[in-house]
Chain A
Amino acid sequence: MRVKVNGKEYELPENLTVLQMLNFFKINHNFVAVERNKEIVSRKDWENVKVCDGDVFEIVTFVGGG
């Protein structure tokens, strides 16, 4: 399936949860927040929420700022 993550299209294996997707990208879980189709997916729901074809994700963290 194809999903958009942080503005870029990716081909992912079928039947992934959000947590599995984060693992697929080898993302350090500690310091990220996830938004799926403009709705936040809480950390506690990462292992339940399925990734669907056409989903748009934003995976964010903190950077230096004033």
Chain B
Amino acid sequence: MSEDYLVIGDKKFKSRLFVGTGKYSTPELMLGAIEASGAEVVTVALRRMNIEGQQRTILDYLAEINCTILPNTAGCYTAEEAIRTARLARELGLSNMVKLEVIGDQKTLFPDNEALLEAARVLVKEGFIVLPYTNDDPVMAKKLEDIGCAAVMPLGAPIGSGLGIRNPYNIRIILETVRVPVIVDAGVGTASDASFAMELGCAGVLMNTGIAGAKDPIKMAKAMRLAVEAGRLAYLAGRIPKKLYASASSPMDNLIE
């Protein structure tokens, strides 16, 4: 396992768990959870600065730990908004990676694939390392790979829903379809969901609410770290085939009479 790195663009990560920084009640709790998760990649959102009541920004806190910042384009409903947000995020000078989201529907937060592809095309040309949040659609995943995205990030289930991997068969087909890393983004509710994604062969898992929304986020962050590691190991180890009938584990000869 010592050489089992996740490579995205020109970056190399030991941890396959990416975590969000939203929904925490305090910055201290957020930092504690990130630390417990072992994550090296941490997502943030871009918003207007409160210029009247200056406070510490999240970056003042994140500076205390060693992590790679992955800005998102959450809240963008058009390709133009997402491109504008990504450019501003890069201007902050911390990362040329972007978790590209173009939302198509407020209730489900499902992506607008058409706009996503359009925005991804522009940002790839501008030198961004683009990680698009997409449906669990193999055709879309292939298109995103073809235009130069550094990874594809299909949703397991709607953002914040905690429903787990709703269509593992599609995730498997995506894994067979693209060569870039496949990172399940959104939907993970508990540790087994994260393990399951990794057992399928995903390169990583990205989550926010699953940890931040737990009763004890720090404990859940640790659970997720172990789950991602366990799932990865199980995938690499190669599971046994599923069979309908039993096969005895103990020898059947030399039984006492």
Q: Are B57 and A62 in contact, CB atoms less than 8 angstroms apart?
A: yes
Q: Are B72 and A65 in contact, CB atoms less than 8 angstroms apart?
A: yes
Q: Are B20 and A61 in contact, CB atoms less than 8 angstroms apart?
A: no
**What's the Cα separation between A27 and B60 when bound, in Å?**
14
State how many angstroms separate the Cβ of A50 from the closest Cβ of chain B. 19
User: Is A42 on the interface with B (CB-CB < 8 A)?
Assistant: yes
User: Is A33 on the interface with B (CB-CB < 8 A)?
Assistant: yes
The 8 Å CB contact of A65, one of B48, B59, B74, is B74
Q: Are A62 and B59 in contact, CB atoms less than 8 angstroms apart?
A: yes
Which of B89-97, B138-146, B191-199 makes up part of the contact surface? B89-97
**What's the Cα separation between A27 and B51 when bound, in Å?**
7
User: Is B22 on the interface with A (CB-CB < 8 A)?
Assistant: yes
Most buried by B among A6, A42, A66: A66
Point out the residues of chain B lying under 8 angstroms from A31, CB to CB: 57, 59-60, 92
**What's the Cα separation between A64 and B55 when bound, in Å?**
14
Point out the residues of chain B lying under 8 angstroms from A64, CB to CB: 20-24, 30, 44-45, 58
Please give the number of chain A residues whose Cβ is less than 8 angstroms from any Cβ of chain B in the complex.
26
User: Is B208 on the interface with A (CB-CB < 8 A)?
Assistant: yes
User: Is B38 on the interface with A (CB-CB < 8 A)?
Assistant: no
The 8 Å CB contact of B74, one of A40, A59, A61, A66, is A66
Looking at chain B's contact residues, the main secondary structure is mixed
State how many angstroms separate the Cβ of B1 from the closest Cβ of chain A. 28
Q: Are A62 and B208 in contact, CB atoms less than 8 angstroms apart?
A: no
Q: Are A62 and B51 in contact, CB atoms less than 8 angstroms apart?
A: no
Q: Are B54 and A28 in contact, CB atoms less than 8 angstroms apart?
A: yes
Instruction: Given the known inter-chain contacts A64-B30, A64-B45, please indicate yes or no for A6 contacting B24, CB distance below 8 A.
Output: no
User: Is B41 on the interface with A (CB-CB < 8 A)?
Assistant: no
Q: Are B88 and A66 in contact, CB atoms less than 8 angstroms apart?
A: no
**What's the Cα separation between A66 and B60 when bound, in Å?**
18
User: Is B65 on the interface with A (CB-CB < 8 A)?
Assistant: no
Q: Are B69 and A65 in contact, CB atoms less than 8 angstroms apart?
A: no
Instruction: Given the known inter-chain contacts A31-B59, A31-B60, please indicate yes or no for A65 contacting B44, CB distance below 8 A.
Output: yes
Q: When each residue 22-51 of chain B gets 1 if its CB lies under 8 Å from chain A and 0 otherwise, what string results?
A: 111000001000000000000111111101
| A-B residue pairs in contact (CB < 8 Å), sample of 23 | A6-B48, A7-B48, A31-B92, A33-B46, A33-B88, A34-B91, A40-B87, A40-B88, A60-B49, A60-B88, A60-B92, A62-B44, A62-B57, A62-B59, A62-B69, A62-B92, A64-B30, A64-B58, A65-B21, A65-B208, A66-B22, A66-B207, A66-B208
